[in-house]
Structure 1
């Protein structure tokens, strides 16, 4: 009986360890994402996105694939000049990470909730929704 109980505890510990490790890896992908987004680094952003990624911008009803997203970086580069992006992970489970992000542009700021699905070190899906027109709730 003791041996079975120990095996169960060991299996549970290994499973928990793999979940915590996966969440940490996903957090590193998210950190890289925001760093690359801040400087409009096309090659890094492209590397972080899976080829079949779906980027959903809820507030404007737009869904972009990888090609569309990377093509929009020229416009984004002008918007993000002089900005800061602060983010914190609200929760991460089952390959999905929810982030609260403050986009602090020179003339305004905006609070967003962004959900990322990460698999194999790449973002496979992203949904972005506005929370507030300023970052006071960050």
Structure 2
């Protein structure tokens, strides 16, 4: 007596496999898969700043935010800062930018310090920008000049 193995039709096996994978991937995971950034607000702030995106910048600033450009002696409210973006947009034509969190400085839900390289067509500027956050928004930004070159940045 010969033993005959019944073969499962391939399409049915494939459907079962796909359904099993789909069910597994839809289960809640005890370990969500995402990258935790050290400064999520700044991850949005700098691309918006470099694009002069008033809507995004406005959403990242608290209503009572204060922006201080120490070297220029300028302090701006949220409204004043947003109003200045027209002039900023003109000044960044042809510029390139880069930023990173300052090594050794705290980066948390309430504070972060960034080093920023502004490469304008006619000059470079390296700044230190210290931020204070509350409820996921910038409440204060203090900018000081670190140097007039981005060499080694």
Give the alignment's TM-score, normalised by structure 2. 0.71
1:131 aligns with 2:134: no
1:108 aligns with 2:123: yes
Partner of 1:89: 101
Compared CA separation, residues 43 and 94, structure 1 to 2 (3 A): closer
Partner of 1:68: 80
Greater percentage in helix: 1
Give the alignment's TM-score, normalised by structure 1. 0.78
Report Cα offsets for 1:66-109 as digits up to 9, x if no partner. Answer: 01100100000001122121111013146110111001112211
Greater percentage in strand: 1
Superposition RMSD on alpha carbons, in Å?
Answer: 1.4
Partner of 1:120: 135
Segments of 4+ moved more than 3 angstroms? none
Task: Extract unaligned runs of 5+ from structure 1.
Answer: 1-20
Report Cα offsets for 1:41-64 as digits up to 9, x if no partner. Answer: 010110111000011110011110
Partner of 1:78: 90
